[in-house]
Amino acid sequence: MADIFEKLVKDGGPIGQHMKRAHGYFAFPKLEGELGSRMTFRGKERIVWSLNNYLGLANHPETRKADTIAAEKWGMGYPMGARMMSGNSVHHEQLEKVLSSFVNREDAMLLNFGYQGIMSCIDALVGRRDIIVYDAECHACIVDGIRMHMGYSYTFKHNDIEDCEKQLQRAAKMAEKTGGGILLITEGVYGMSGDQGKLKEIVELKQKYEFRILIDDAHGFGAMGPTGAGTDEEQGCQEGIDLYFSTFVKSMGSIGAFIAGPKDVLAYLRYNTRSQIFAKSLPMIIVEGMLKRMEMLKSMPELREKLWNVTRTLQNGLREKGFDLGKTNTMVTPVYMKGDVPEATAMVLDLRENYNIFCSIVVYPVIPKGQIIYRLIPTAAHSAEDIELTLKAFTETKAKLDAGAYKAAEIPDMAEAI
DSSP string, 228-280: S--HHHHTT-GGG-SEEEEESSSTT-S--EEEEE-HHHHHHHHHH-HHHHTSP
Using alpha carbons, select from 242, 239, 285 the residue that is nearest to residue 261: 242
The yes-or-no verdict on residue 18 having pLDDT over 80 is: no
**Mean pLDDT, residues 78-96:** 95
Per-state percent for the chain, helix, strand, coil, to nearest 5: 45, 15, 40
The yes-or-no verdict on residue 5 having pLDDT over 70 is: yes
Confidence of residue 55 (pLDDT cuts 50, 70, 90): very high
Q: Which amino acid is at 33?
A: G
Per-residue pLDDT of 147-202, as tens digits, reads: 999 999 999 999 999 999 999 999 999 999 999 999 999 999 999 999 999 999 99
Dihedral angle sign, alpha carbons of residues 227, 229, 235, 241: negative
SS3 153: strand
What pLDDT is stored for residue 418 in this prediction?
65
Residues of the chain with CATH 3.90.1150.10: 11-54+301-403
Confidence of residue 4 (pLDDT cuts 50, 70, 90): confident
- Rg of the chain's alpha carbons, rounded to an integer? 22
SS3 289: helix
Residues of the chain with CATH 3.40.640.10: 61-299
Question: What CA–CA distances, in Å, run from 225 to 198, 229, 327?
Answer: 15, 6, 18
d(CA 336, CA 373): 5
Q: Are 351 and 414 in contact (CB under 8 A)?
A: no
Q: Are 92 and 289 in contact (CB under 8 A)?
A: no
The yes-or-no verdict on residue 316 having pLDDT over 80 is: yes
What pLDDT is stored for residue 417 in this prediction?
67
Percent of the chain with pLDDT over 70: 99
Using alpha carbons, select from 351, 319, 315, 362 the residue that is nearest to residue 191: 362
Residues forming beta bridges with residue 261, ordered by sequence position? 107
The yes-or-no verdict on residue 84 having pLDDT over 80 is: yes
247 contact partners, CB below 8 Å, separation of at least 6: 113, 114, 117, 218, 221, 256, 257
d(CA 127, CA 108): 22
The yes-or-no verdict on residue 60 having pLDDT over 70 is: yes
What angle, 0 to 180 degrees and rounded to 10, lies between the N-to-C axes of helices 301-320 and 384-402?
30
Residues forming beta bridges with residue 212, ordered by sequence position? 183
What pLDDT is stored for residue 161 in this prediction?
98
- Which region holds residue 160: left if phi is over 0, alpha if psi is between -120 and 50, else beta? beta
**Mean pLDDT, residues 303-325:** 96
The yes-or-no verdict on residue 249 having pLDDT over 90 is: yes
80 contact partners, CB below 8 Å, separation of at least 6: 86, 87, 280, 281
**Mean pLDDT, residues 84-91:** 95
* Mean per-residue pLDDT of the chain: 94
DSSP state letter for 6? H
Strands 31-32 vs 38-41: parallel, antiparallel or unpaired? antiparallel
Using alpha carbons, select from 238, 284, 244 the residue that is nearest to residue 75: 284
Predicted model pTM: 0.95
Percent of the chain with pLDDT over 90: 83
Residues forming beta bridges with residue 213, ordered by sequence position? 184
Confidence of residue 126 (pLDDT cuts 50, 70, 90): very high
Using alpha carbons, select from 6, 38, 21 the residue that is nearest to residue 357: 38
Give the HSE-up count for residue 55: Cα atoms under 13 Å, Cβ half-sphere: 31
Domain covering 11-54+301-403 in this structure, CATH number: 3.90.1150.10
The yes-or-no verdict on residue 271 having pLDDT over 90 is: yes
Listing DSSP states for 304-324 in one string gives HHHHHHHHHHHHHHHHHTT-B
Q: Which amino acid is at 366?
A: V
Phi, psi values for residue 204, rounded to 5°: -60, -25
Using alpha carbons, select from 109, 131, 127 the residue that is nearest to residue 243: 109
CATH architecture assigned to 61-299: 3-Layer(aba) Sandwich (3.40)
What pLDDT is stored for residue 339 in this prediction?
83
- Which region holds residue 315: left if phi is over 0, alpha if psi is between -120 and 50, else beta? alpha
Using alpha carbons, select from 248, 253, 220 the residue that is nearest to residue 56: 253
Per-residue pLDDT of 134-147, as tens digits, reads: 999 999 999 999 99
**Mean pLDDT, residues 71-99:** 95
Confidence of residue 341 (pLDDT cuts 50, 70, 90): confident
**Mean pLDDT, residues 67-94:** 95
